[in-house]
Amino acid sequence: MDYLEFYKLREHPFSNVVDNRFYYNSPQHSTAMIKLKHAIDTKKGLAVVIGDIGSGKTTLARMLLEELNEDLYEAALLVIIHSSVSSEWLLKKFALQLGLNEVSDDKVELLSQLYRRLHEIHESGKTAVVMMDEVQMLKSREIMEEFRGLLNMEMSAGKMINLIFFGLTDLEDVLSLDEPLKQRVAVRVRLTAFSEADSRDYIIHRIKIAGSPTPLFSEQAISSVYKYSQGLPRLINTICDNALLEGFLIKAETIDEDIIQTAAIDLGLNDMGG
């Protein structure tokens, strides 16, 4: 027996693996989604989402990708996993993700291929969108200039490609490597930590999606989760998952404040909570 069976859950409610079924549409996430869709649909060109570690940027990116209807958008999500990528590598990735089967090794020809593909997408009535996560890793003036070059591809209705950058606060410094690019940011979204009320709704929402008929956490426990997590979704997940395991080990039917404190101390978060 594990805590799933004990708490009558179908699945783990607080996994940090991004799963759109558990998406919590907080007021700020809802506003962010509206702004980003506006940027895409009006072909603004460049939108930026900035937030601290664990604030839900990747979750928002995945949800936005899912919500962009394949009949209307040619959309892709690219995650930057290391900082040593070249502008050529990125352009090839863009081309492949936008549906080109064979890409040229010659940069000039590659740009021509991209232009022709973007024109095809536009002619088919679709909007081209490339989202990039962890963009703060691209500390390269050359790459920023390349992005600016892509945004120069225009038509009467607006930009031929829409770029959405997701990243940590360092992303502002990366954009500053090419001031003209930074000035082209048409929509800027800042994700902050949840309020205590949003943290409470988030916890209850995820437990409900996972199949529990009851909230499982006492009100005091939820307040304690907020105190230790400072409202960061990723930390809320980690604390709550550990608390459910702790609760199962002592056969507690409800997770109370003491169990949260135990989990937080085990995770080394007791100093954060003050």
pLDDT tens-digit readout, 85-119: 888 889 999 999 999 988 888 888 999 999 999 99
- Residue 14, domain member (yes or no): no
The confidence band for 68, taking pLDDT boundaries of 50, 70 and 90, is very high
The confidence band for 273, taking pLDDT boundaries of 50, 70 and 90, is very low
Residue 24 pLDDT > 90, yes or no? yes
Domain shared by 257 and 241, yes or no: yes
Total residue count of the chain as it appears in this document: 274
Domain CATH for 179: 3.40.50.300
Q: What pLDDT does residue 272 have?
A: 53
Domain shared by 139 and 258, yes or no: no
The total number of structural domains that make up the chain: 2
Domain shared by 152 and 108, yes or no: yes
Q: What pLDDT does residue 155 have?
A: 84
Residues 179-224 have pLDDT tens digits of 999 999 999 999 999 999 999 999 999 999 999 989 999 999 999 9
Kindly state the average pLDDT of the residues 219-234: 96
Domain shared by 154 and 79, yes or no: yes
Q: Answer with the one of 155, 174, 191 that is the final residue of a domain.
A: 191
Residue 121 pLDDT > 90, yes or no? yes
Domain shared by 140 and 257, yes or no: no
Domain shared by 40 and 56, yes or no: yes
Residue 28 pLDDT > 80, yes or no? yes
Please give the share of the chain, as a percent, with pLDDT higher than 70.
Answer: 98
Q: Answer with the one of 191, 211, 234 that is the final residue of a domain.
A: 191
**189 Cβ neighbours under 8 A, 6+ residues apart:** 31, 32, 35, 36, 47, 48, 49, 50
Q: Answer with the one of 143, 175, 191 that is the final residue of a domain.
A: 191
Q: Indicate the range of 7-11, 70-74, 103-107, 262-266 predicted with least confidence.
A: 103-107
Domain CATH for 231: 1.10.8.60
Please give the share of the chain, as a percent, with pLDDT higher than 90.
Answer: 82
Domain shared by 168 and 228, yes or no: no
- Residue 271, domain member (yes or no): no
Residue 142 pLDDT > 60, yes or no? yes
Q: What pLDDT does residue 245 have?
A: 96
Q: Which domain holds residue 216?
A: 3-9+194-266
